[in-house]
Amino acid sequence: MSTTETPSYKPDIPGDAVTQTTENIHIELTPHALDSLAATRFVRSPSAGATVLFIGTTRDSFNDLPVSSLAYTSYAPLAMSTLHTIATTLLAKHALTRIAIIHKLGECPIGEESIVIAVSAPHRQAAWRAGEEALEETKKRAEIWKLERFEGGEGVWRANRDGVMGVKVGEDKCEGGQAGGASA
Amino acid sequence: MAPSKAPAGHFSILYFAAASTFTNRANEHLSAPVEARDLFSKLEELYPGIKDKVLSSCAVTVNLSYIDIDGDDAPDLGVVIKEGDEVAIIPPVSSG
Protein backbone atom coordinates (compact mmCIF):
# COMPACT_ATOMS: atom_id res chain seq x y z
CA MET A 1 0.00 0.00 0.00
CA SER A 2 1.11 3.54 -0.58
CA THR A 3 -0.67 6.83 -0.60
CA THR A 4 -0.01 10.03 -2.43
CA GLU A 5 1.10 13.32 -0.94
CA THR A 6 0.97 16.83 -2.32
CA PRO A 7 4.21 18.36 -3.64
CA SER A 8 4.20 20.85 -0.77
CA TYR A 9 4.36 18.17 1.93
CA LYS A 10 7.04 18.80 4.54
CA PRO A 11 8.03 15.89 6.75
CA ASP A 12 7.66 16.35 10.49
CA ILE A 13 11.11 15.53 11.82
CA PRO A 14 13.24 16.24 14.87
CA GLY A 15 15.55 19.24 14.47
CA ASP A 16 18.53 17.30 15.68
CA ALA A 17 19.79 13.72 15.80
CA VAL A 18 18.18 11.23 18.17
CA THR A 19 20.83 8.81 19.41
CA GLN A 20 21.18 5.91 21.79
CA THR A 21 24.67 4.63 22.46
CA THR A 22 25.93 1.90 24.74
CA GLU A 23 29.36 0.26 24.83
CA ASN A 24 28.63 -1.92 21.79
CA ILE A 25 25.47 -0.52 20.17
CA HIS A 26 24.94 2.83 18.45
CA ILE A 27 21.49 3.74 17.10
CA GLU A 28 20.80 7.08 15.46
CA LEU A 29 18.00 8.83 13.54
CA THR A 30 19.26 12.09 12.12
CA PRO A 31 18.23 14.96 9.87
CA HIS A 32 21.91 15.57 9.12
CA ALA A 33 24.13 13.93 6.48
CA LEU A 34 25.13 10.40 7.52
CA ASP A 35 28.73 9.85 8.58
CA SER A 36 29.75 6.35 7.51
CA LEU A 37 33.28 6.89 8.74
CA ALA A 38 32.04 7.65 12.26
CA ALA A 39 29.97 4.44 12.19
CA THR A 40 33.06 2.49 11.13
CA ARG A 41 35.13 4.07 13.88
CA PHE A 42 32.47 3.20 16.46
CA VAL A 43 32.53 -0.52 15.65
CA ARG A 44 36.29 -0.83 15.21
CA SER A 45 37.92 -2.88 17.95
CA PRO A 46 41.17 -4.80 18.55
CA SER A 47 39.09 -7.92 19.25
CA ALA A 48 37.30 -7.70 15.89
CA GLY A 49 39.08 -8.96 12.81
CA ALA A 50 36.24 -8.01 10.49
CA THR A 51 34.24 -4.85 9.94
CA VAL A 52 31.40 -4.75 7.41
CA LEU A 53 29.96 -1.40 6.33
CA PHE A 54 26.74 -1.05 4.35
CA ILE A 55 25.76 2.29 2.84
CA GLY A 56 22.30 2.64 1.31
CA THR A 57 21.82 5.58 -1.05
CA THR A 58 18.63 6.92 -2.60
CA ARG A 59 17.93 5.89 -6.22
CA ASP A 60 16.79 8.26 -8.95
CA SER A 61 14.02 5.99 -10.25
CA PHE A 62 11.25 3.60 -9.23
CA ASN A 63 10.06 1.14 -11.91
CA ASP A 64 11.83 3.37 -14.48
CA LEU A 65 9.91 6.47 -13.33
CA PRO A 66 12.24 9.35 -12.49
CA VAL A 67 12.21 10.25 -8.79
CA SER A 68 12.98 13.91 -8.14
CA SER A 69 13.31 13.87 -4.36
CA LEU A 70 12.73 11.79 -1.24
CA ALA A 71 11.93 12.39 2.39
CA TYR A 72 11.82 10.10 5.42
CA THR A 73 9.57 10.44 8.42
CA SER A 74 9.48 8.33 11.56
CA TYR A 75 7.75 7.52 14.84
CA ALA A 76 11.11 8.21 16.44
CA PRO A 77 10.65 6.79 19.97
CA LEU A 78 9.26 3.52 18.60
CA ALA A 79 11.79 3.29 15.73
CA MET A 80 14.66 3.80 18.21
CA SER A 81 13.30 1.01 20.37
CA THR A 82 12.82 -1.32 17.38
CA LEU A 83 16.33 -0.63 16.05
CA HIS A 84 17.81 -1.22 19.49
CA THR A 85 15.99 -4.56 19.71
CA ILE A 86 17.31 -5.55 16.26
CA ALA A 87 20.86 -4.59 17.27
CA THR A 88 20.69 -6.41 20.61
CA THR A 89 19.33 -9.56 18.97
CA LEU A 90 22.01 -9.61 16.25
CA LEU A 91 24.78 -8.85 18.72
CA ALA A 92 23.92 -12.02 20.62
CA LYS A 93 22.96 -14.19 17.64
CA HIS A 94 26.18 -13.58 15.69
CA ALA A 95 28.48 -12.89 18.65
CA LEU A 96 29.25 -9.45 17.24
CA THR A 97 31.72 -7.09 18.81
CA ARG A 98 29.80 -3.91 17.95
CA ILE A 99 26.97 -2.71 15.74
CA ALA A 100 25.81 0.71 14.53
CA ILE A 101 22.56 1.48 12.68
CA ILE A 102 22.05 5.05 11.46
CA HIS A 103 19.07 6.25 9.40
CA LYS A 104 18.35 9.57 7.74
CA LEU A 105 15.18 11.54 8.50
CA GLY A 106 13.71 14.41 6.51
CA GLU A 107 14.79 15.41 3.02
CA CYS A 108 17.36 13.07 1.46
CA PRO A 109 18.77 14.27 -1.87
CA ILE A 110 19.01 11.65 -4.63
CA GLY A 111 22.27 9.70 -4.48
CA GLU A 112 22.96 10.50 -0.85
CA GLU A 113 23.14 8.12 2.10
CA SER A 114 19.81 7.17 3.67
CA ILE A 115 21.09 4.33 5.86
CA VAL A 116 24.45 3.26 7.24
CA ILE A 117 25.01 -0.05 9.02
CA ALA A 118 28.38 -1.03 10.45
CA VAL A 119 29.09 -4.29 12.26
CA SER A 120 32.27 -5.79 13.64
CA ALA A 121 32.97 -9.37 14.69
CA PRO A 122 36.00 -11.53 15.42
CA HIS A 123 35.60 -13.21 12.00
CA ARG A 124 34.24 -12.22 8.60
CA GLN A 125 31.40 -14.75 8.24
CA ALA A 126 29.52 -13.45 11.25
CA ALA A 127 30.08 -9.84 10.19
CA TRP A 128 28.78 -10.41 6.63
CA ARG A 129 25.70 -12.26 7.81
CA ALA A 130 24.87 -9.85 10.60
CA GLY A 131 25.30 -6.86 8.29
CA GLU A 132 22.81 -8.25 5.80
CA GLU A 133 20.38 -9.32 8.49
CA ALA A 134 20.53 -5.92 10.18
CA LEU A 135 19.54 -4.23 6.94
CA GLU A 136 16.72 -6.66 6.14
CA GLU A 137 15.31 -6.49 9.66
CA THR A 138 15.50 -2.70 9.64
CA LYS A 139 13.69 -2.46 6.31
CA LYS A 140 11.06 -4.88 7.51
CA ARG A 141 10.41 -3.47 10.97
CA ALA A 142 11.75 0.03 11.73
CA GLU A 143 8.92 2.58 11.97
CA ILE A 144 10.31 4.83 9.25
CA TRP A 145 8.49 5.83 6.06
CA LYS A 146 9.81 6.98 2.70
CA LEU A 147 8.00 9.53 0.58
CA GLU A 148 9.12 9.43 -3.07
CA ARG A 149 8.29 12.43 -5.20
CA PHE A 150 8.17 11.83 -8.95
CA GLU A 151 9.13 14.42 -11.52
CA GLY A 152 6.14 16.61 -12.31
CA GLY A 153 3.89 14.77 -9.87
CA GLU A 154 2.94 14.18 -6.30
CA GLY A 155 4.64 12.05 -3.70
CA VAL A 156 3.98 8.41 -2.95
CA TRP A 157 4.41 6.72 0.42
CA ARG A 158 6.39 3.60 -0.32
CA ALA A 159 5.82 0.28 1.47
CA ASN A 160 8.80 -2.08 1.55
CA ARG A 161 6.67 -5.18 1.78
CA ASP A 162 4.79 -4.90 -1.52
CA GLY A 163 7.20 -3.03 -3.77
CA VAL A 164 4.47 -1.77 -6.08
CA MET A 165 3.58 1.69 -7.31
CA GLY A 166 1.15 3.62 -5.14
CA VAL A 167 -2.43 4.59 -5.90
CA LYS A 168 -3.05 7.63 -8.05
CA VAL A 169 -3.44 11.14 -6.78
CA GLY A 170 -6.78 11.99 -5.15
CA GLU A 171 -8.10 8.45 -4.79
CA ASP A 172 -6.84 8.03 -1.32
CA LYS A 173 -7.65 11.28 0.37
CA CYS A 174 -10.50 11.89 2.74
CA GLU A 175 -12.35 14.96 1.45
CA GLY A 176 -14.19 17.02 4.02
CA GLY A 177 -13.59 14.56 6.83
CA GLN A 178 -13.31 16.54 10.04
CA ALA A 179 -12.28 15.08 13.31
CA GLY A 180 -14.19 15.61 16.49
CA GLY A 181 -12.45 15.75 19.82
CA ALA A 182 -10.03 18.40 20.90
CA SER A 183 -7.64 19.62 18.25
CA ALA A 184 -3.99 18.89 18.86
CA MET B 1 6.63 15.86 16.59
CA ALA B 2 4.89 14.62 19.70
CA PRO B 3 1.45 16.11 20.15
CA SER B 4 0.59 18.31 23.08
CA LYS B 5 -0.64 16.47 26.16
CA ALA B 6 -4.17 15.18 25.80
CA PRO B 7 -6.77 17.17 27.77
CA ALA B 8 -8.76 15.42 30.50
CA GLY B 9 -10.90 12.58 29.19
CA HIS B 10 -8.91 12.26 25.97
CA PHE B 11 -6.10 10.19 24.46
CA SER B 12 -3.61 11.18 21.76
CA ILE B 13 -3.58 9.49 18.37
CA LEU B 14 -0.69 9.83 15.92
CA TYR B 15 -1.03 9.32 12.19
CA PHE B 16 1.99 8.43 10.08
CA ALA B 17 2.66 8.33 6.34
CA ALA B 18 -0.47 7.24 4.42
CA ALA B 19 -2.63 7.62 7.56
CA SER B 20 -1.44 11.20 7.96
CA THR B 21 -2.17 11.92 4.31
CA PHE B 22 -5.68 10.53 4.56
CA THR B 23 -6.63 12.38 7.76
CA ASN B 24 -4.72 15.47 6.70
CA ARG B 25 -3.17 15.75 10.15
CA ALA B 26 -0.27 14.28 12.12
CA ASN B 27 -2.12 13.85 15.40
CA GLU B 28 -5.19 14.78 17.41
CA HIS B 29 -6.97 14.05 20.67
CA LEU B 30 -10.00 11.78 20.85
CA SER B 31 -12.27 11.09 23.78
CA ALA B 32 -11.35 8.23 26.10
CA PRO B 33 -11.97 5.52 27.06
CA VAL B 34 -12.31 3.50 23.85
CA GLU B 35 -12.15 -0.25 23.58
CA ALA B 36 -9.55 -1.33 21.00
CA ARG B 37 -12.19 -3.27 19.04
CA ASP B 38 -14.03 0.02 18.40
CA LEU B 39 -11.03 2.12 17.40
CA PHE B 40 -11.19 1.57 13.62
CA SER B 41 -14.99 2.11 13.54
CA LYS B 42 -14.56 5.35 15.43
CA LEU B 43 -11.92 6.51 12.94
CA GLU B 44 -14.14 5.43 10.03
CA GLU B 45 -16.89 7.72 11.39
CA LEU B 46 -14.45 10.63 11.46
CA TYR B 47 -12.76 9.81 8.15
CA PRO B 48 -15.10 7.88 5.86
CA GLY B 49 -13.22 5.35 3.74
CA ILE B 50 -10.14 5.20 5.96
CA LYS B 51 -10.82 1.64 7.11
CA ASP B 52 -10.58 0.04 3.66
CA LYS B 53 -8.05 2.36 2.12
CA VAL B 54 -5.60 2.79 4.98
CA LEU B 55 -6.36 1.03 8.28
CA SER B 56 -6.79 -2.44 6.75
CA SER B 57 -3.03 -2.58 6.18
CA CYS B 58 -1.97 -0.72 9.35
CA ALA B 59 -0.74 -1.86 12.74
CA VAL B 60 -1.62 -0.08 15.99
CA THR B 61 0.47 0.76 19.03
CA VAL B 62 -0.65 1.92 22.47
CA ASN B 63 2.06 3.60 24.55
CA LEU B 64 4.76 2.25 22.17
CA SER B 65 3.57 -1.37 22.32
CA TYR B 66 1.88 -3.11 19.42
CA ILE B 67 -1.62 -4.44 20.01
CA ASP B 68 -3.13 -7.18 17.86
CA ILE B 69 -6.69 -6.25 16.85
CA ASP B 70 -6.65 -7.90 13.43
CA GLY B 71 -9.52 -10.38 13.13
CA ASP B 72 -12.47 -11.46 15.29
CA ASP B 73 -10.31 -13.60 17.56
CA ALA B 74 -7.44 -11.13 17.96
CA PRO B 75 -6.06 -11.16 21.52
CA ASP B 76 -6.13 -7.42 22.20
CA LEU B 77 -9.66 -6.47 21.10
CA GLY B 78 -10.59 -5.98 24.75
CA VAL B 79 -7.73 -3.58 25.51
CA VAL B 80 -9.10 -0.29 26.81
CA ILE B 81 -7.50 2.90 25.50
CA LYS B 82 -7.47 5.22 28.48
CA GLU B 83 -7.19 8.93 29.12
CA GLY B 84 -3.63 10.12 28.43
CA ASP B 85 -2.63 7.08 26.34
CA GLU B 86 -0.65 7.56 23.12
CA VAL B 87 -2.06 5.55 20.24
CA ALA B 88 -0.36 5.40 16.83
CA ILE B 89 -1.51 4.20 13.42
CA ILE B 90 1.46 2.42 11.79
CA PRO B 91 1.24 1.92 8.01
CA PRO B 92 3.58 -0.57 6.28
CA VAL B 93 7.11 0.73 6.80
CA SER B 94 9.63 1.78 4.14
CA SER B 95 13.05 2.57 5.58
CA GLY B 96 16.38 1.96 3.85
Whether B3 is in a domain gets the answer no
Beta carbon pairs, A and B, within 8 Å: 138
% of chain A residues with pLDDT over 90: 68
Residue A1 clears pLDDT 90, i.e. is over it: no
> Which member of A158, A183, A184 has the closest CB to residue B94?
A158
Task: Kindly state whether residue B1 falls inside one of the protein's structural domains.
Answer: no
Q: Are B88 and A115 in contact (CB < 8 Å)?
A: no
pLDDT at A163: 60
Cα distances (Å, whole numbers) of residue A43 to A25, A56, A120, A122, B7: 8, 18, 6, 12, 45
Are B18 and A3 an interchain contact pair (Cβ–Cβ within 8 Å)?
yes
pLDDT reported for residue A173: 46
Q: How confident is the model at residue A178 (pLDDT cuts 50, 70, 90)?
A: very low
**Of A72, A57, A53, A58, nearest to A117 (Cα)?**
A53
Of the listed ranges A75-89, A112-126, A167-181, the least confidently predicted one is A167-181
Q: A81-85, A140-144, A152-156, B83-87: which has the minimum mean pLDDT?
A: A152-156
User: Could you tell me the CA-to-CA distances from A81 to A92, A123, A178, B2 in Å, in that order?
Assistant: 17, 28, 32, 16
What pLDDT, on the 0 to 100 scale, is given for residue A63? 83
Is the pLDDT reported for residue B7 higher than 90? yes
Write out chain A residues lying below 8 Å of B1, CB-based. 12-14, 76
Confidence of residue A40 (pLDDT cuts 50, 70, 90): very high
**Nearest CA-CA distance, residue B66 and chain A, Å:** 10
Residue B27, domain member (yes or no): yes
Closest Cα in chain B, distance from residue A158 (Å):
6
For residues A168 and A99, give the distance between their C-alpha atoms in angstroms, rounded to a whole number: 40
What's the domain count of chain B? Answer: 1
Chain B residues inside the 8 Å CB shell of A184: 3-4, 12, 25-29
Q: What is the pLDDT of residues B26-38, one digit of tens each?
A: 999 999 999 999 9
Nearest CA in chain B to A11: B17
Residue B5 lies in a domain: no
Does A166 score more than 50 pLDDT?
Answer: no
Find the domain containing B25 and state its range.
10-90
A181 touches B at CB < 8 Å = yes
Mean pLDDT, rounded, for A92-96: 98
User: How far is it, in rounded angstroms, from Cα A116 to Cα A163?
Assistant: 21
Q: Is A140 annotated as contributing to ligand binding?
A: no
Residue A124 marked as a ligand binder? yes
Q: Is the pLDDT of residue A104 over 80?
A: yes
CATH at B40:
3.10.20.30
Cα distances (angstroms) measured from residue A144 to each of B5, B14, B62: 23, 14, 17
Worst-scoring range by mean pLDDT, A89-93, A126-130, A164-168? A164-168
Least confident of A59-68, A95-104, B7-16, B39-48: A59-68
Q: How confident is the model over A103-110, as a mean pLDDT? A: 95
Measured N-to-C along each axis, helices A76-93 and A124-141 cross at an angle, to the nearest 10 degrees, of 150
Residue-level pLDDT at A181 = 34
> A179: nearest CA in chain B?
B46
User: Are the C-beta atoms of A111 and A60 separated by less than 8 Å?
Assistant: yes
